[in-house]
Amino acid sequence: MKDIDWSKLGFHYTETDYIVRCECHDGVWGKPYVTNDKYVSLHLSATCLQYGQEAFEGLKAFRGADGKVRVFRMEENARRMARSAEALCMSPVPEDLFCEAIILALDKNMDFLPPYETGATLYFRPLLIGTTPRLGVGPGRDFLFVVIPSPIGPYFPVGFHGTPFIVNRHVDRAAPFGTGQYKVGGNYAASFRATEAAHRQGLSCLFLDSVERKYIDECGAANFFGIKDGVYVTPQSTSILPSITNNSLMQLARDKGIQVEQRRVLLEELSDMTECGACGTAAVISPISRVIDPDNARIYEFGDEPGEVSKMLYYALKDIQYGRTEDKHGWCYVK
């Protein structure tokens, strides 16, 4: 194991020994291979640079309480990347190839997998880019798939706590029937104006739908959920990325007898919610302490401490990821 101060890792890139690459030409994928070269040579007119033909994913490997290593729901990441690829006219990475590349990246970088007690994990960033040189508008036919591993620290190094959000009605993260439901870089670049403005105020950004601007869309780069009358409520929209974490939390809520509703959620419904949060790979759940609506001079308060349902679901999912409880749904690849 590498001599790393695991306690000081944040959510930033730490170089490992190897990455995994695989190329596709005219619809035919080669075999994944390992390299220590962290750079790519691209033609300046490659379709990823000219027209944003790019998709990515994010997932983690955990060193468990039993000493075993678990990768969480990588097949779902493979399927989501395939949907993103098809939406951008890219050749999808086959599911078995995707999983083979993740396991290869894990095997070759085991020294960077943090110890169990630290709360740190080994993060994987699968990346798919179009490499065909092209000036005329249109998709390429050549693609590079890369898996970039990096150890990252716990999202809450000093404890599970709430984050304040501010509503933004002036920037659209994604349009209905556009690319919002796919994990592509352009969605994130489109949100930077709003998220950076919020961060300068010490806040995170809550996006509303881009048509009526009254329904909750996403929390920065994460899905939203709230607890209303004991029901787990989360938005449903063609502009929201289907979160694998949110999907897992919904299943765990059902397992515990909690009703789940996936539907359009009005911003005003926050006043009827006892707790809410943002959910995604990085944090699992980031509880929302308050939501500021500057256009209506209104603040929805939830408190700095996470709610009881949020805590229960957070630890239930973490227990599966770290092997502290039975994985009843077979979500983890165990090594």
So which residues are the catalytic ones? 183
CA dist 9 and 38 (Å) reads 20
